[in-house]
């Protein structure tokens, strides 16, 4: 792996009583790149090798735990399973927070780091967050990469029906149960063309549990996802260089979500990958880094003063 500088895990107050845990890779004078993970995923799901490769490509990489994940603030209160089911069915329900709040957390982290703006890349729910940033905080976003995500429109980006029991079903307590459940679920949604060794998946699950898992926190995040608005029309206003990446074998967020995102953002690049599911296989790291760098360079060329 690259020998780029890697910070300790640090903490940033981002407002509204929320503190997020974050870590940086690379030179602070590089192009800032904020990485936003998806539902229930700590920042460690951004593989250190991928972060280092992005740093080697000239980025100052910042990864962080969303609220209710990992070492960031975990809120109190429980969400009834019936509330989750009603939200799945499209019924209006009260939610602890929204995509707007999660996007504000990301902007608060940029404030803490003294960054007026950054390139942003998000996976799944993280893609929804960076889309919301680009809409609601356009001055903070230099370029946007939305990976395996969707616009919030219910008729695109759906889950394969076989996944629904695992998403709304109950979870047994304890480390062993979490590792078994997580490993089984990743076997369902992972990339069929790039299967990861079961030992790798089990270790990631164990590390995730040890870092901190909140079942109620995942439910609160899921409610934010289920009750998000359709951003399709508002994405038409996004003017920053945009890359949309989606796997053609994604069972968690159907590729229609990526296609709809790319169609909504004028001038975006759509990168569809055969055999890729709902994960970030190491075999595709070079592809991801090249595409994100290419998108960031579009911003650099647009922002460079003409002579």
Catalytic residue among 105, 254, 278, 279: 278
Q: Which residue has the tokens 């079903």?
A: 169
Residues 6+ apart with CB under 8 A from 111: 14
Catalytic residue among 31, 65, 72, 124: 124
Whether residue 300 lies in the annotated active site: no
- Is the sign of the CA dihedral 81, 87, 89, 92 positive or negative? positive
Catalytic residue among 31, 65, 105, 250: 250
Per the structure block, which two tokens stand in for 7?
């910070």
Per the structure block, which two tokens stand in for 267?
């001038």
Whether residue 278 lies in the annotated active site: yes
Whether residue 111 lies in the annotated active site: no
Residues identified as active-site: 124, 250, 278
């Amino acid at each position: 792996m690259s020998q780029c500088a890697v910070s300790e895990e640090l903490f940033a107050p981002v407002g509204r009583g929320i503190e997020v845990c974050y870590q940086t890779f690379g030179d602070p004078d590089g192009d800032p790149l904020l990485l936003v993970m998806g539902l229930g995923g700590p920042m460690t799901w951004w593989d250190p090798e991928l972060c280092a490769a992005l740093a080697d490509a000239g980025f100052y990489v910042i990864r962080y735990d969303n609220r209710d994940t990992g070492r960031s603030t975990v809120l109190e209160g429980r969400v009834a399973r019936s509330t989750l089911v009603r939200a799945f069915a499209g019924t209006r329900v009260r939610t602890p927070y929204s995509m707007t709040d999660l996007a504000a957390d990301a902007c608060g982290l940029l404030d803490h780091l003294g960054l007026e703006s950054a390139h942003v890349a998000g996976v799944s729910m993280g893609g929804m967050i960076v889309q919301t940033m680009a809409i609601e905080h356009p001055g903070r976003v230099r370029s946007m990469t939305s990976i395996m995500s969707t616009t919030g429109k219910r008729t695109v980006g759906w889950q394969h029906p076989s996944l629904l029991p695992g998403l709304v079903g109950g979870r047994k307590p304890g480390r062993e149960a979490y590792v078994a459940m997580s490993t089984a679920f990743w076997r369902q949604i992972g990339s069929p063309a790039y299967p990861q060794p079961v030992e790798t998946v089990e270790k990631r699950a164990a590390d995730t549990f040890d870092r901190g898992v909140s079942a109620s926190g995942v439910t609160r995040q899921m409610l934010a996802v289920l009750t998000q608005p359709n951003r399709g029309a508002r994405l038409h206003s996004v003017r920053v260089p945009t890359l949309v990446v989606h796997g053609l074998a994604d069972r968690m967020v159907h590729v229609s979500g990526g296609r709809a995102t790319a169609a909504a953002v004028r001038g975006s690049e759509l990168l569809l990958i055969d055999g890729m599911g709902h994960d970030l296989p190491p075999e595709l790291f070079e592809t991801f880094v090249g595409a994100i760098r290419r998108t960031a360079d579009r911003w650099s060329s647009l922002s460079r003063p003409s002579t």
